[in-house]
Structure 1
């Protein structure tokens, strides 16, 4: 694989952080859901956390799709050409025969 393109490590870290955020918000929202109506404030907090959970989840999936599209595009671009290879040095006799040297 050609390493001309920058690494996607930051994007992977961003995806993981979004899913971690979604997991934490969802867990806290589930834990904070009140069992009786007298704790309605916790219900309000829980709904806000559920919205944060959904937002982080959507952002994480979008980042995953962007990374997948980027990887697919890079692979298609790299598949267009041949793999680089080295060439051998031409011997002096061959260069003289081709008229490239003035000796």
Structure 2
């Protein structure tokens, strides 16, 4: 079995799922707000419920957008940090002879 390549970026699967769930709920609440909007004043209670659903949809959308921006900024910070250094290089294990020649033994 081949080893998986190591990525410097942490997994964002959980965050991606959370963003999609928030946007799906916002869509459902937005549809519910639109569907509950009454045609006459006699159904004023539905105006209230429709308003609550609309504000909840707006709040979930804003929260999902804020989370997307945070993920984007974290990835840009990691890319900037990785750009500071060069590519990793392989090295040999120091043998007793090399340590002695360097005056370390």
TM range (shorter): 0.7 to 0.9
State the partner residue of 1:50: 54
TM-score, scaled to structure 1: 0.79
With normalisation by structure 2, the TM-score equals 0.77
Between the two proteins, the alignment pairs up a number of residues equal to 97
Question: Which digits, 9 at most, give the CA deviation of each residue in 1:37-89, with x for residues without a partner?
Answer: 22111111000000101100110110011011001001101111112132357
Contact 2:9 2:75 in 1 (8 A): no
Cα distance in structure 1, aligned partners of 2:34 and 2:18: 24
Describe the SS at the equivalent of 1:20: helix
Structure 1 residue aligned with 2:36, among 32, 37, 40? 32
Q: Which runs of 5+ in 1 are unaligned?
A: none
| Structure 1 segments (4+ residues) deviating >3 Å | 87-91
